[in-house]
Structure 1
């Protein structure tokens, strides 16, 4: 019987020997993604700006760490140098300014552009050539459900995460034949420090959770599972895609 394949003797969802770089890796979704990649056998370097929290988080999961602000070219260079030959890039930088569009300053837009958009472009520029040369690579960016359903008070995130999504879709077209995939994971309302900042009022948070079809906020590890899948060998034929993890919000 032709056209089939066998899984006999194959260990599924392993990344043994692969090197991964996870930015924003000291907490939340980034830390959970790093943990999952380590459990799959990857050698993981996590990058973030705050040394104390980063070191504690990295030590807890067995990752290497580097203090780096990837909103700057120098920070990207430091992160990539510390990670070595990166096979898996998880670009997870953001938290742009909140407010109505009319109230966001040009400085906030500029900072958001550097942190949310250009960080992904620079990280990809620094790592994808090596992936192409080795014939294998994964580029994954953490975006947001607001790419498809904009929030009225997150204009910077709405615009720039949509930019990241379409940048990676375009890059996917260039590198697909070289064994490199480029995808995004778009979390819904997830129980992270950022969510607690935006919805500090418990009653407000409860009302928001009640509107989600799953009737709860997501957990970082639930988003990380999507990242881990996209990083796997088994996801080699998925590229240019946006994977929503939002408890049914976008239905």
Structure 2
């Protein structure tokens, strides 16, 4: 039974791995036996926290940089990956958020959020997915959001992108499931990260959010660990096109 969650011999690429949810995902995959390629715009070449945690689990770690707001940077990343061997698990976690009322939301913020959270993720997934199809196996995990299901407030670009990510995961699953490539998404709830600091620092919003969460607390990045390993492991070989909420019960309220 333990083999269902064993990632020994697998290589995982985790974007947005420097901190927060991506850091927790990378650590969880390493704990299950995977070697990790971490990618972030500002990831230190050596000595990063994610490298420390992956190596503490006894796994190899490779640090790469890519700016997901820059399409050319993502194409360079794709070319660089050829030197590191095949990717067995792709975790599309890199993301950004911009808060402004829709009537005042500038084009620049909209474009940046869509580029980072959607377009660049498709470019990377298309390239890595093609190699997975050639090998007849692979696991792809997108980080979706509660706003893949709901509208949110003052985040029109983020909501649009995360709704599209959920659809993209389903579309790719439809094409690739029969070829041994599983594509799914995780929808984190309200997790205590830098992206949600503004909400946690607002006493009114913080209280209204906590009152809605049946679990009674903000999530932690490591609350995503189990779902990440499940969707990366043999245990999920017949799971395709799912958007799995990890939200303390928010959507069930």
Q: Under a length normalisation based on structure 1, what TM-score does the superposition of the two structures give? A: 0.90
Shift in Å, 1:55: 4.3
Q: 1:193, 1:34 → 2: CA distance? A: 18
Q: 1:93, 1:134 → 2: CA distance? A: 25
Q: Which residue matches 1:56? A: 48
Q: Which residue matches 2:33? A: 41
Pair 1:56–1:225, CA change in 2 (3 A): same
Deviation by residue 1:128-186 (Cα, 9 ceiling, x = unmatched): 01111111111111011011121122111111111111112111111111100111100
Q: For the aligned residues, what is the CA RMSD?
A: 1.8
Q: Which runs of 5+ in 2 are unaligned?
A: 56-60
Q: Which residue matches 1:30? A: 22
Pair 1:224–1:71, CA change in 2 (3 A): farther
Q: 1:55, 1:126 → 2: CA distance? A: 29
Shift in Å, 1:53: 9.3
Q: 2:215, 2:173 → 1: CA distance? A: 32
Q: Which residue matches 1:71? A: 69
Asked if the contact 1:58/1:64 (under 8 Å) is kept, the reply is no
Paired positions, count: 243
Asked if the contact 2:93/2:142 (under 8 Å) is kept, the reply is yes
Asked if the contact 2:10/2:88 (under 8 Å) is kept, the reply is yes
Whether 1:194 aligns to 2:195 is yes
Q: Which residue matches 2:163? A: 162
Asked if the contact 1:25/1:54 (under 8 Å) is kept, the reply is no
Q: 2:72, 2:47 → 1: CA distance? A: 20
Q: Under a length normalisation based on structure 2, what TM-score does the superposition of the two structures give? A: 0.90
Asked if the contact 1:26/1:54 (under 8 Å) is kept, the reply is no
Asked if the contact 2:44/2:63 (under 8 Å) is kept, the reply is no
Asked if the contact 1:47/1:54 (under 8 Å) is kept, the reply is no
Shift in Å, 1:52: 3.9
Q: Which runs of 5+ in 1 are unaligned?
A: 1-6
